[in-house]
Amino acid sequence: MKKALWMISVLAAIGLICGLSLSSVYRYAAPLIAENKKRALEESIYKVLQDIARYEVIEKEGLVIYAGIEADGDIAGYAFMAKGAGYQGEISVIFGIGAELDKLKGIEVLESLETPGLGGKITDAGFKDQFKGLSTLPEIGYVKSHSPENDNEVQAISGATISTRSIVAILNDGISKMRDALKR
């Protein structure tokens, strides 16, 4: 009985000390972590919308849309974060689209687990740049083994059609969600 009591009190003491020290470390780290996340998001918004002076957060129907505003106060376009299944895991992409909701301004891949060297190329500038100025009407498509002929098509990454298809599907889905939300 005495032994059991001793075991319980030692474990409780260890747990208490560890808990207290962790909470103080957390109090120091939490604001820094939140700031890092915010900065990463902000950087990507400025990257996909280009040449904007500031941005505003619009919350509509549970969606968070970032409206990029130019120096003279006009809306330059909107940025939206979309997620979906990739080849190996979830891909999250942020894209910027013009104020008319017709042409993409740029995309950034925030998170992905695609195969390095194949699907991993979705994060390469060469692939992402294809989306600059791409028409989203009626929707984005992709072509294989030849160069795109229409202004709403990108060239698929060779050996990684599934990753390309995933990105295109995520973007189309995100764009239509955003359009619906902004129309209302």
Residues binding another protein (CB under 8 A):
3, 6-7, 10-11, 14-15, 18, 21-22, 25-26, 28-29, 32-33, 36-37, 40, 115-118
Measure Cα distances from 35 to 29, 39, 52, 122, 175 in Å.
Answer: 10, 6, 21, 27, 28
Residue 149 phi, psi (nearest 5): -105, -30
Helices (H) and strands (E) counted in the chain, each on its own, are 3, 7
Residue 162 Cβ vs another protein, minimum distance, rounded to whole Å: 16
The 3-state DSSP class for residue 148 equals coil
If the CB atoms of residues 123 and 172 are measured against another protein, the closer one turns out to be 123
Given the complex with another protein, which of 12 and 71 has the nearer CB atom? 12
Tokens representing residue 104 in the block: 């993409």
Contact 106, 95 (CB under 8 A): yes
Q: Given the complex with another protein, which of 43 and 56 has the nearer CB atom?
A: 43
At its nearest, how many Å lie between another protein and the CB of residue 35? Answer: 9
Q: Please, what is the minimum distance in Å from the beta carbon of residue 39 to another protein?
A: 8
Q: How far is the CB of 127 from another protein (least distance, A)?
A: 16
